[in-house]
Amino acid sequence: MNTPDLTVVVTDQNLVPLRAEFEAAVPEGTVVRWPDVGDPAAVATALAGADVLVGSHCPAPLLAAGTRLRLVHAAGAGTDKIDVGALRPGAQVANTFHHEDSIAEYVVAATILLRRGFLRQDAALRQGRWDSPAYDPSVPWPDALDGATVGFVGFGHIGARAWQRFDVFGARGVAVTRRGGIDATANGLAWAAGIAELGALLAESDVVVVSTPLTPATTGLIGAPELAAMRDTALLVNVGRGPVVDQDALYAALRDGVIGGAAIDVWYDYPAAGAESAPSPHPFHELDNVLMTPHSSGLTRQTFTRRVHDIAANIGRLAAGEPLRNVVAVAR
């Protein structure tokens, strides 16, 4: 069956390295435009007459030029920066995931780096000092993951996938979620409960993995009292959203040794443009018990290759008049 040709505009810069793969995956006859996102006039020109916009940052002024848009497809999970109200009635908003494998890999790698003291050892050896109990008896023995309790604050596709990796190392898992209802036995967890048991999870965990979404209810979910409930050797790994953990309390807890360390991939301040910006008013970079990464835990070629094929498949469904997948909103 012949399907109508579509015009697709891509403004997500993460897809530029996969341009050839994207264009090969969309239906034959699809016109794909890649405007310079730094040039609003070029974007507006590209959107004129377009059927699909692939991008995650879509405010009303940008969408104003896309009067024929039938689909806005985020190249990721987040759609909070897509102004659905600016779309014509019936236009759909969809997203895609596929970051869970890469984020799970990050969570385990970051935990091992911090728990085993590899970052500290690397810095010391660059100065000629052998920071190891084999050479310096005052250095404490590090702990492996075998037998460690890993607590998950949020146990969606990211938490569950990370737990599968930790389980292989012989760790013990516990989890709390906003709604509860996680089957601990089916997931190989020691226990699972609702968010009311957050305190119990924090008290018994050697590693706390935060992957819960940011909502009014989860903003500041982990503050000074919660951090104080953790063990002074425990690690916190945040791959959810920065404000789920209160930044003032987190900095103080890391600075003062209330907790053992943290891997922070999601932040409080992001660049307005370009690649230069402090991630927080606090000098986390001065602390030697912190791994700082620029919201990169899910950014691998594999993540975006799979997203390209998800988006292309949805574009194919749109062209064929079939129901789309991963639709999160419809303009009214």
Domain-embedded: residue 1: no
Domain-embedded: residue 2: no
Reported pTM: 0.90
Q: Is the pLDDT of residue 2 over 60?
A: no
Instruction: State the Rg of the chain over Cα.
Output: 23
* Residue range 121-131: mean pLDDT, rounded: 97
Using alpha carbons, select from 105, 213, 226 the residue that is nearest to residue 154. Answer: 213
* Residue range 277-298: mean pLDDT, rounded: 97
Q: Are residues 83 and 106 in the same domain?
A: no
Backbone angles phi, psi at 282, to 5 degrees: -85, 145
φ/ψ region of 124 (left if φ > 0, alpha if ψ in -120 to 50, else beta) reads alpha
The enclosing H or E element of 316 equals: helix 301-320
Q: Are residues 87 and 200 in the same domain?
A: no
Q: Are residues 220 and 184 in the same domain?
A: yes
Strand order through the sheet with 327-330: 31-33, 7-10, 52-54, 71-73, 92-94, 327-330
Per-residue burial over 194-204, b if 16 or more Cβ lie within 10 Å, else e, is ebebbeebbeb
Distance CA 211, CA 230 (A): 17
Q: Are residues 213 and 252 in the same domain?
A: yes
- Token pair 């906003």 in the structure block, residue: 178
For residue 82, the SS3 value is strand
Q: For position 110, what pLDDT does the model report?
A: 98
Domain range for 273: 100-292
Q: Is the pLDDT of residue 164 over 60?
A: yes
Distance CA 137, CA 158 (A): 39
Mean pLDDT of the chain: 96
Q: Are residues 216 and 84 in the same domain?
A: no
In one letter, which amino acid is 107?
V
Domains: count for the chain: 2
| DSSP at 108 | H
Q: Are residues 187 and 59 in the same domain?
A: no
CA dihedral (227, 233, 237, 238) in degrees, to 10, reads 20
- Terminal CA-CA length for the chain: 30
Q: Are residues 248 and 136 in the same domain?
A: yes
Q: Is the pLDDT of residue 1 over 80?
A: no
Domain-embedded: residue 272: yes
Q: Are residues 143 and 286 in the same domain?
A: yes
Residues shown for the chain: 332
Is residue 117 a contact partner of residue 131, using CB atoms and an 8 Å limit?
yes
Domain-embedded: residue 190: yes
Q: Are residues 270 and 191 in the same domain?
A: yes
Q: Are residues 43 and 177 in the same domain?
A: no
Domain-embedded: residue 322: yes
Is residue 229 a contact partner of residue 176, using CB atoms and an 8 Å limit?
no
Query: What tokens appear for 71 in the block?
Result: 């689909």
* Residue range 52-74: mean pLDDT, rounded: 96
* Residue range 234-249: mean pLDDT, rounded: 98
Q: Are residues 18 and 143 in the same domain?
A: no
Domain-embedded: residue 121: yes
User: What HEC string does 9-61 produce?
Assistant: EECCHHHHHHHHHHHHHCCCCCEEECCCCCCHHHHHHHHCCCCEEECCCECHH
The enclosing H or E element of 326 equals: none
Domain-embedded: residue 44: yes
* Residue range 222-238: mean pLDDT, rounded: 98
pLDDT band at 259 (very low <50, low <70, confident <90, very high): very high
Q: Are residues 325 and 228 in the same domain?
A: no
Q: For position 3, what pLDDT does the model report?
A: 58
CATH number assigned to the domain comprising residue 153: 3.40.50.720
Percent of the chain whose pLDDT exceeds 90: 96
